[in-house]
Amino acid sequence: MQLIDNPKRNQWSEILKRPTQTVDDIESTVNQIFDEVRTEGDVAIKKYTSKFDDVTLETVVVSAEEIAKAANKVSEKLQKAIKIAKQNIEKFHEAQKTRKIDIITSKGV
């Protein structure tokens, strides 16, 4: 991950640019990942967790006890803030989704 600390104003627009991909490119990548997870199972999960999250998993199973223990470490105030952030992120990215558009300008074209 690239860290940017106090960029100059003339760098802002370049920094804020998002890479653009076509819907077909995105669908192809996602389908490839799904297919690999379907066929390779936990091996693929570990691979993509390492690739996207930079975390090496020993196991993909989390016990109910581990979940409860972790939840107890997070204050109620923070849990509420996380839920609100989750909702905001979902709304933001839903609005960003690229829609597939088929246009017929004339018959056969």
User: What tens digit of pLDDT does each residue of 13-42 get?
Assistant: 888 887 778 888 889 999 999 999 999 999
The contacts of residue 36 (CB under 8 Å, 6+ apart) are 44, 47, 48
What's the pTM? Answer: 0.48
When pLDDT is averaged across residues 46-57 and rounded to a whole number, the result is: 94
Confidence of residue 1 (pLDDT cuts 50, 70, 90): low
Q: What is the largest CA-CA distance in the chain?
A: 63
Q: Reduced to 3 DSSP states, what percent helix, strand and coil does the chain have, rounded to the nearest 5?
A: 60, 0, 40
Name residue 70's amino acid.
A
Show me where the domains of the chain are located.
Answer: 20-61, 63-98
User: Which residue is it, tokens 């997870």?
Assistant: 37
